[in-house]
Amino acid sequence: TPSRWFHPNITGVEAENLLLTRGVDGSFLARPSKSNPGDFTLSVSPKVGNVGNVCFDELVSLKELKYDVGGGEKFDSLTDLVEHYKKNPMVETLGTVLQLKQVRECGN
């Protein structure tokens, strides 16, 4: 069964709108990357008030059958990566700390 946080048919603009209009601190979803076919994008709504009304998109690369976000730890599956970052903070390239807290379910 597909994960509730995976949105197979959503664009980046739709993901951002969904997270910013109906999300909360730490809301997240994953979707296939349009600009890097075969990879995925993890879209995360940061802490409210920490950063302006923006959503962060982290590219999840699939290299040598492992998933990673920018050269950090590598995972056997997208689910393993998401589960890891639900328990551990992710530091965005400019230093913003992102935490995956609230699943933004597909279809809601």
Question: 12-52: per-residue pLDDT in tens?
Answer: 989 888 888 776 778 889 999 998 889 999 888 875 544 45
**Whole-structure pTM value:** 0.80
pLDDT value for 33: 92
- How many domains, in total, are found in the chain? 1
Nearest to 101 by CA among 30, 25, 40: 25
Helix (H) or strand (E) holding 14: helix 12-22
Domain that holds residue 52: 12-103
Nearest to 103 by CA among 28, 1, 44, 7: 28
Q: What single string gives the DSSP state of each residue in 40-70? A: EEEEE---BTTBSS--EEEEEEEETTEEESS
Task: Assess if residue 89 is contained within a domain.
Answer: yes
**Domain CATH for 16:** 3.30.505.10
pLDDT value for 50: 46
Token pair for residue 26? 């730490």
Task: Assess if residue 108 is contained within a domain.
Answer: no
Lowest mean pLDDT among 5-9, 16-20, 75-79: 16-20
Task: Assess if residue 21 is contained within a domain.
Answer: yes
Task: Assess if residue 28 is contained within a domain.
Answer: yes
